[in-house]
Amino acid sequence: MITAGIDVGSLTTEAVLLQDREILAYSIVKTGSRARLAAEQAFEEVLEKAKIKFSDVSFVVATGYGRMGVPFASRQVTEITCHGRGAAFLSPRVRTVIDIGGQDSKVIRLDEQGNVVDFLMNDKCAAGTGRFLEVMAQALELPVTALGEAEREARRAAEISSMCTVFAESEVVSLIAQGVPRAEIIRGLHRAVAARTTALVSRLGLVPEVMMTGGVAKNPGVVSALSEKLGVEIFVPPEPQIVGALGAALLAR
């Protein structure tokens, strides 16, 4: 049986096709202003990659903030449940999942069976999320995907005192004007994101093993800063951005 999971996030939408617990294909597209169109595009792309038709898919589960706007989904499941299920599938020993997406961050606790037993979510502002890093990358005139590599040249971290996206952007512009090396500003930003995420983890309590998911997990600078701040190794799956959609596909039956 082939099942599908669609995760409609604020910045990107992911689709995963699963057959007999093996990933057939996945796709990642920009969500843009219309969640429904993004879901349809992600689904069409993943079907094309797997070379199958819509009628070959037995069940579709939608998750993410835009899950109610996916008309072809058989049912909807919360993103917390889907992220937990996807993470446990990829690594059954994981007990803490840290997900930093485009507009929110969350920490999820799993039990030995991979069930969600508790979670905390920061979705009230973009501080410490992918959107925060995207705005800072624009101020630094870099693609957000280049931040991790650019940080490698840093000898120290610049001090970033504000996590408010608006104020932090002004702070970055000021540091650039002062001649602070770009790499040191980036390292400071990564450490600021790690400090904010650590505060969220501390409120829930850290239980190893730890997995990081979401688009920000592709930034090795943030992962390294967070690992150092928490004092634990962090496992990042090969494609950390599809964990929610994978969990949805696993629940699609």
pLDDT at residue 129, as a whole number: 83
In angstroms, rounded to a whole number, what is the distance separating the alpha carbons of residues 58 and 74? 9
Average pLDDT, the chain: 93
pLDDT at residue number 194: 94
Distance CA 94, CA 84 (A): 9
Helix (H, G, I), strand (E, B) or coil at 205: coil
Say what percent of the chain tops pLDDT 70.
Answer: 98
Q: How many whole angstroms separate alpha carbon 195 and alpha carbon 24?
A: 37
Top-confidence residue, 163 or 19: 19
The per-residue pLDDT for 164 is 80
- Contact by Cβ (8 Å): 198, 230: yes
Closest CA to 126 of 169, 161, 160, 159: 169
H/E element, 27: strand 22-30
pTM: 0.90
- Give me the DSSP letters along 97-151: EEEE-SS-EEEEEE-TTS-EEEEEEE-SS-TTSHHHHHHHHHHTTS-GGGHHHHG
Query: What is the pLDDT, as a whole number, of residue 21?
Result: 87
pLDDT tens profile 111-150 = 998 899 999 988 666 677 888 898 999 999 999 999 999 9
> Do residues 229 and 13 lie in contact, with contact meaning Cβ atoms separated by under 8 Å?
no
The closest alpha carbon to 9, from 68, 76, 70, 66, belongs to 66
Residue 236 CB contacts under 8 Å (≥ 6 apart), including other chains: 211, 212, 213, 217, 218, 223
Cβ atoms of 235 and 22 within 8 Å: the answer is no
User: In this structure, what is the dihedral angle of CA atoms 27, 29, 35, 41, given to the nearest 10 degrees?
Assistant: -60
Whether 156 shows a pLDDT value over 70: the answer reads yes
Tell whether the torsion through CA atoms of 47, 51, 54 and 57 is positive or negative: negative
C-alpha count within 13 angstroms, C-beta hemisphere, residue 121: 11
Please state, in angstroms and rounded to a whole number, the distance separating the CA atoms of residues 43 and 49.
10
Q: What is the DSSP letter of 221?
A: H
Residue 27 identity: S
pLDDT of 34 reads 87
